[in-house]
Amino acid sequence: MNRRPREASFRGKRTGSRKTRNVIEPKWTRKNIVIDQRKLDLAKTLLHAPTETATVDQALDLIAFQEEVLSGIDRMVELGGVDAFEDR
């Protein structure tokens, strides 16, 4: 029986057009990891996640999102930046 959490994250194959929001079909795989339980408990509390699996999934989503934001900022700087962020 292949079970997956209710809160499926969106990692996997992208679908949709540019005009519609890109939806990524989840691709779940089972992993066994050794992890600091205190960090996991803290992350679960901060993320309001119902399960440890959902906690890890949401934390990974946040890291992927952070990379997207930082890449966007780098691209914005390459294109000349934004006046509001320039030193005065």
Percentage of the chain modeled with pLDDT above 70? 66
Asked whether residue 6 is assigned to any structural domain, the reply reads no
For the residues 46-60, what does the mean pLDDT come to? 96
Asked whether residue 7 is assigned to any structural domain, the reply reads no
Asked whether residue 4 is assigned to any structural domain, the reply reads no
43, 61 Cβ separation under 8 angstroms: no
For the residues 70-88, what does the mean pLDDT come to? 78
Asked whether residue 78 is assigned to any structural domain, the reply reads yes
Q: Which pLDDT value is given to residue 50?
A: 97
Asked whether residue 49 is assigned to any structural domain, the reply reads yes
23, 15 Cβ separation under 8 angstroms: yes
Neighbour count for residue 55 (Cβ, 10 Å) = 24
Q: Which pLDDT value is given to residue 25?
A: 75
Question: What pTM was computed for the model?
Answer: 0.61
Asked whether residue 66 is assigned to any structural domain, the reply reads yes
Asked whether residue 29 is assigned to any structural domain, the reply reads yes
State the total domains in the chain.
1
Higher-scoring residue by pLDDT: 12, 46 = 46
Placement of tokens 């996991």 in the chain? 40
Higher-scoring residue by pLDDT: 56, 9 = 56
At 23, which helix (H) or strand (E)?
strand 23-24
Domain housing 66: 14-85
